[in-house]
Chains A and B, each alone.
Chain A
Amino acid sequence: MSAVLASEPFLERAPLELRDAVVQLLPAPAQWLGHHLITILAVVLGFSLFFAFTTVAERKLLGRLQNRLGPNRAGVPKFSILPFHLRHKLFGLSQPFADAIKALTKEDIVPAAADKLLHFLAPVVVVAFSLMTFAVLPVGRHLVPVELDAALLYFFAAGCASELALFMAGWSSRNKYSLLAAMRALAQLISYELPLILSVVPIVLVTGTLSTVAIVQSQGVWSFGLLPHWFVFTPWGFAGFIIFLIATLAETNRSPFDLPEAESELVAGHLTEYSGFKYALFFMAEYFGMTALSGLGVTLFLGGWQAPAPFLEFIPSYLWFMGKLVGMLVFFIWIRGTLLRLRIDQLTRLSWQFLVPLALLNVGNAAFWSLTAHWSGPLNLVRWAIALALVVTPFLLLGRTLSAGFAPRTYRYAS
């Protein structure tokens, strides 16, 4: 490991060098412990900070989408010497810390009828499991918290558990809105876990591994030294990525699939009876979940930490990963600022009648792709054409049934 490391540019190995330097300070028997603790600390603190600033980014972006400024009062004192127009842009950066203090100092109200233990456990479980998923995300070339052979299985198992915590929250609150939300959360979990996993199966099929590290490495090839071989640039990979994106929105309860906490119907859904820091924990878990699944999407489809072109490799790999991650999150925020919420029956219908069949066909498509890997020259064009047809045709056919019967209308006027 260290021999490989030594040949890397300094920025690439800087985080590891720092870790090793700290570990060297510890007595030898405790070094393995320090090694792991530092890794855990880096993941927890790093992604917590990332979460904090994602919330600001979300509120700012939503604000801009809605003709307003977003939070701009809680500034960074250090920058107040700057001219006003610059200062203005820096305002709002310490908003998450103000929010955290507010959440911590608020009264924690537990309904008298609630199941106290489950009511307390739900936010803990949801945050714990969503944090666990970060363990297998390769953030950089050498920055993998845990190298697991069954990383994908582990990821989905942990991600699934956090959805169950929503049910715990809804059930234990003894509130009718929360109960309805809990039922919705379960329906959503069952409906969307399937397309989510099915959209990932083609990648496992083609790469032949469940390890996230190996999947990223298999995407580190360029055609003509320019076009990256990310899976999103293959027909089945593109279809898989879109299915993955939609399922991710549903899994993380983001608009337009935010049914469990549908504000206009269920007040705050499963969060109705939560206040103070428990509420903040749920909020945090939602963002952790979104970040983790986006990170997985980046890892599986967008080349992970790989640079888009070889000559851009001087930028450290973890920055590429973060850049792609931020891009995905901005896309999610954009969607939230734009779309309406689906109804629960439409939500499940979208999954079972559209996403699941598409994802299943996509598995076959990927099988075709890997079987024809040796085709070259004009045969390669045929391969692309067949694979594209296998994506576009079912999309058009299935999509037509989804929106059947709905069309803008023309109106008559009284004579």
Chain B
Amino acid sequence: MNPSGNSCGSFPAASPFAPVAGPIVRSVTDPFHGDLLEVSMGPQHPSTHGVFRMVATLDGEQIVKLKPVFGYLHRNHEKIAENTSYLASMPYTDRLDYLCSLSTNWAYAFAAEKLLGQPVPDRAQYLRIILAEMTRLVNHSCLVGFLFNDLGTSFTPLLYAFREREKIIDLFESLTGSRMMCNYQRFGGCRVDPTPEWLEAARKLVENFPRFLDEYERMLTGNEIMLARTQGIGRVNAAQAINAGLTGPVLRASGVDYDLRKVDAYGFYGRMDFRVPLGDHGDTYDRYMIRILEMRESVKILAQAFRDLPAGPIMDPKAKQRGHRPKAGEAYGRIEGPKGEIGFHLISDGSPNPYRYRVRPPSLINLTLLEDMCLGHTLADSVVILGSIDIVLGEVDR
């Protein structure tokens, strides 16, 4: 990791896409230029991905100030978790990022296992990788689909992406009993062992996934309107991204080489051979392409995981099934979720409930740079930039 971001912090100053006079925030009542138009987009708006709200101040169509407002979906997630047992929070973690319940499950189980000192059998480690990477495919294919909807297509790319997502979600359903709220991980392993037929079906599906990506890219990536709408839009340089604590594809699109799968090599990711794609411009197009390239890498990881998946138990036989009472102490477990670093900080005082339960939500932290990304661009771009950050309000508001 290179915080100075020497290779990516600088953009050609003469570029026609650089913001006109740098990011200048102007207020609605402006004595010099006259009053501006303030538009409150959301919480009910087709493109704010749920109940997010942007209060945008417009000069013509240009955004001169943008205030993100969230909290409309606040459900007291952390306090609820502090008032229930460790295991009982597992289904709640599904509801954080409802597109990627399996990754969030893993992050929580990972933190709790650290706190409990609980080992995980090999087969479960591989299953976690398989399901987390399939979740990444689900999340990223949803994202690229929704991004095109924000760009103004009449649902066509989205429905192409949903066709693929549907197949994976069907597999999740047959394994865990639920399409989106999977509640699959346990402290010390996984809940259900997949049958050989399931594994075979999953392997075949993943094998065919690049065909979908090729088709999608052939139709959309080179499209001139797509290029003109996304290139140079919503730029974030490496220094900004690091200062704001961005993680995940949004950070890597700005050229910072930081992927927890490599940095921490948690689980069995150290055994996997894959590459981390990096962007050089940090704009919406890079954020889109990084997702596409990450999906291709996920397919590689999945192929290796299916090949190497060992036989054996999926649960540590000595693991406690319920009534966990970890010793007093604290643990922070983090994994590379599809949206960025999803982490759980647990503090135990020796009682059956966590004393403190804290989520590090990547969606929320990635959202903090929204105003900087949008300044100087138009209202139409702000929707696309928001789409490219990839937020799920369940996680932002908790």
A residues contacting B by CB (< 8 A) are 62, 65-68, 176-177, 179-180, 255-256, 258, 262-267, 336-346, 403, 405-409, 411-414
Contacts and interface: CB of A to CB of B under 8 A. Distances in A.
Given A339-B153, A341-B152, A67 B231 contact: no
Given A263-B46, A405-B17, A336 B224 contact: no
Interface string B46-63: 110000000000100100
Interface in B270-287: 275-281, 285-286
B47 A264 contact: yes
Nearest 3 pairs of A and B residues by beta carbon = A341-B152, A406-B227, A414-B257
Contact of A255 (B154, B159, B378): B154
Nearest to B292: A411
B163 interface: yes
A403 to B, nearest CB: 5
B322 interface: no
Interface residues of B, number: 52
Contacts of A411: 277-280, 289-290, 293
B259 A414 contact: yes
A263 B15 CA distance: 30
B381 to A, nearest CB: 7
Contact of B154 (A336, A407, A412): A336
A409 B293 CA distance: 12
B380 A340 contact: no
Interface in B21-78: 37, 39, 45-47, 58, 61
A64 to B, nearest CB: 11
Contacts of B154: 62, 255, 336-337
B264 to A, nearest CB: 15
A130 B78 CA distance: 58
Nearest to A342: B225
A403 B278 contact: no
Interface stretch (B102-110, B143-151, B196-204): B143-151
B223 interface: yes
Contacts of A346: 225, 228-229
A262 B229 CA distance: 14
Given A341-B229, A407-B227, A409-B280, 10 more contacts: A62-B155, A67-B159, A180-B379, A256-B225, A264-B46, A340-B223, A341-B151, A342-B225, A343-B381, A413-B276
Given A405-B17, A411-B279, A340 B226 contact: yes
A189 to B, nearest CB: 16
B224 A343 contact: no
B11 to A, nearest CB: 13
